Amino acid sequence: MDVPEQISPGFSVVLGIETSCDETAAAVVVRLPDGSGRIASNVVRTQWERHRPYGGVVPEIAARAHVECLDILIGEAMREADIDYSDLDAVAATAGPGLIGGLIVGLVTGKAIALASGKSFLAVHHLEAHALTVGLTEGLRPPYLLLLVSGGHTQLLIVRGVGDYERLGTTIDDALGEAFDKTAKLLGLGFPGGPAVEQAARAGNPARFELPRPMLGRPEPHFSFAGLKTAVRRTAERLAPLQPQDVADIAASFQEAVVQSVADRCARAMDLALERLGPGAPRHFVVAGGVAANERLRESLRSLADAHGFAFHVPPAHLCSDNAAMIAWAGAERLALGLIDPLAAPARPRWPLDLDAQPAIGAGLKA
Ligand code: KG4
Ligand code: ZN
Phi, psi of 363 (to 5 degrees): -90, 25
Q: Which of 20, 126, 187, 291 to mutate to test the pocket of ligand 1 (most atoms within 8 A of CB)?
A: 291
Distance 2 CA to ligand 1 centre (A): 33
Say how far apart CA 349 and CA 352 lie, in whole Å: 10
Say how far apart CA 298 and CA 314 lie, in whole Å: 8
Distance 20 CA to ligand 1 centre (A): 14
Other beta carbons within 10 Å of 203: 13
Percent of the chain with pLDDT over 70: 96
- pTM greater than 0.85: yes
Q: What's the pLDDT score for residue 365?
A: 43
54-58, 168-172, 279-283: which range is least confident on average? 54-58
Distance 318 CA to ligand 1 centre (A): 11
> Which ligand approaches the C-alpha of residue 153 most closely?
1
- Angle at alpha carbon of residue 321, lines to 303 and 312, rounded to 5°: 20
Distance 34 CA to ligand 1 centre (A): 32
CA atoms within 13 Å, Cβ hemisphere of 291: 24
The two counts, helices (H) then strands (E), for the chain are: 11, 10
| pLDDT band at residue 361 using 50, 70 and 90 as cut-offs | low
Q: What are 191-248's pLDDT values in tens digits?
A: 889 999 999 999 999 999 999 998 999 999 999 999 999 999 999 999 999 999 999 9
List residues near ligand 1 (CB under 6 A).
21, 150-152, 177, 180-181, 192-195, 198, 289-291, 293-294, 321-322
